[in-house]
């Protein structure tokens, strides 16, 4: 049967029709804006490798979140930059820790804001690794290793401290075996059954994290994170990781980074049918900003296309440094 050549084009020519037939949305409810929080007052320190991103003191953070909240922002993810670091990262669970103070202030100012707290220790430890490090007995060349089980105790304390401050969602990002079950048990025992866990379930050992490590001061002082973050070549392993976190009680699972792992996002969504988040990470953001500044691409259009692609792959939520720009363009 022959069809007129213009049959499909009729759906695209009229912009009113085209907008109403758009299959994939990136509404504000889908976006989570990350923020780096530090102590002090009146601080808005630019991050050189992430143009348009800043380290914020709590007073300025409240002002910026308020501005974006009026434009439709509904969710934030907080990373803390402590004044002091030690080998155990104990400022992560201190009641007066920077993230706990920021959470209390944001929930007081914006009760309807969904506040998500990253739970990792790389920003808090003097060595920059995501937990407690011990000397290794696994060969002469490898002198250290992450102590998985010792780290779980610190994870439990930090999750409770963040929930007590008012966090709606705890987001463990260290790729520590058993972290989700540990958090769920710790929260439930202390009456925080309502607090959700958004697990960095498939977090790859990626080259795209470089700008974040500048922003958070979290680069490892020795070694790499390859022993606990995932090999970028492994897709089936990512699915096993996600399945384990769901079994342990994760309410939302995350794939990080996003752009090189759209296939993982799609497979996770199709197999598990649970809420899926994707982290459009710092390196992905920095590339767009750099090319936009050189005039090689239309920055706003490129960012929007990237976010639509991540949504189309199956992500229900997107953590992205483009969130403010998307809201400002509305």
- Each residue of 114-139: pLDDT tens digit? 999 999 877 777 665 666 767 666 55
Predicted pLDDT of residue 325: 94
Mean pLDDT, all residues of the chain: 88
Tell me the average pLDDT across 85-104: 84
Q: Where are the domains of the chain?
A: 33-328
Predicted pLDDT of residue 140: 47
d(CA 175, CA 289): 29
Instruction: Please say if 203 is a catalytic residue.
Output: yes
| CA angle (148, 149, 154) in 5-degree steps | 95
Query: If you classify domain 33-328 with CATH, what class do you get?
Result: alpha beta
Predicted pLDDT of residue 177: 87
What confidence tens digit (pLDDT) does each residue in 164-188 have?
A: 999 999 999 877 889 999 999 999 9
Which listed residue (71, 157, 256, 289) is catalytic? 256
**Side-chain half-sphere exposure of 109, counting CA atoms within 13 A:** 19
CB 282 within 8 A of CB 209: yes
Rg of the chain (C-alpha set): 20
CB 317 within 8 A of CB 275: yes
pLDDT band at 261 (very low <50, low <70, confident <90, very high): very high
Which listed residue (85, 203, 269, 289) is catalytic? 203
d(CA 300, CA 291): 11
Predicted pLDDT of residue 47: 93
Is 26 or 313 the better-scoring residue by pLDDT?
313
Predicted pLDDT of residue 268: 97
d(CA 256, CA 286): 16
Is 189 or 147 the better-scoring residue by pLDDT?
189
Q: Which residues contact 330 (CB under 8 A, 6 or more apart)?
A: 28, 71, 72
Predicted pLDDT of residue 279: 97
């Amino acid at each position: 049967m022959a069809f007129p050549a213009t049959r499909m084009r009729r759906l695209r020519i009229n912009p009113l029709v085209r907008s109403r037939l758009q299959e994939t949305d990136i509404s504000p409810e889908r976006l989570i804006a990350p923020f780096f929080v530090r102590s002090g007052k009146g601080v808005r320190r630019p991050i050189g490798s992430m143009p348009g991103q800043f380290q914020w003191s709590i007073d300025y953070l409240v002002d910026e979140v308020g501005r974006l909240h009026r434009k439709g922002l509904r969710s934030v993810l907080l990373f803390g930059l402590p004044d002091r670091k030690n080998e155990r990262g104990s400022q992560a669970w201190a009641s007066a820790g920077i993230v706990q103070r920021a959470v209390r202030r944001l929930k007081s100012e914006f009760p309807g804001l969904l506040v998500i707290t990253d739970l990792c220790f790389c920003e808090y430890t003097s060595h920059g690794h995501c937990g407690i490090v011990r000397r290794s007995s696994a060969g002469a060349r490898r002198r250290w290793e992450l102590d998985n089980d010792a780290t779980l105790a610190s994870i439990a304390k930090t999750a409770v401290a963040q929930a007590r401050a008012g966090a709606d969602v705890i987001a463990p990002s260290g790729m520590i075996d058993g972290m989700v079950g540990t958090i769920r048990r710790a929260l439930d025992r202390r009456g925080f059954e309502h607090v959700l866990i958004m697990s960095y379930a498939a977090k790859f050992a990626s080259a795209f994290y470089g700008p974040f490590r500048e922003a958070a001061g979290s680069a490892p002082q020795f070694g790499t994170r390859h022993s606990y973050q995932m090999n970028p070549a492994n897709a089936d392993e990512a699915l096993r990781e996600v399945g384990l976190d769901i079994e342990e009680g994760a309410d939302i699972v995350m794939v990080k980074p996003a752009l090189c792992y759209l296939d993982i996002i799609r497979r996770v969504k199709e197999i598990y049918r649970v809420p899926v988040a994707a982290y459009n990470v710092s390196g992905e953001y920095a590339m767009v900003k750099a090319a936009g500044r050189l005039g090689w691409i239309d920055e706003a259009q490129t960012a929007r296309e990237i976010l639509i692609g991540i949504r189309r792959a199956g992500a229900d939520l997107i953590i992205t440094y483009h969130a403010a720009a998307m809201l400002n363009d509305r």
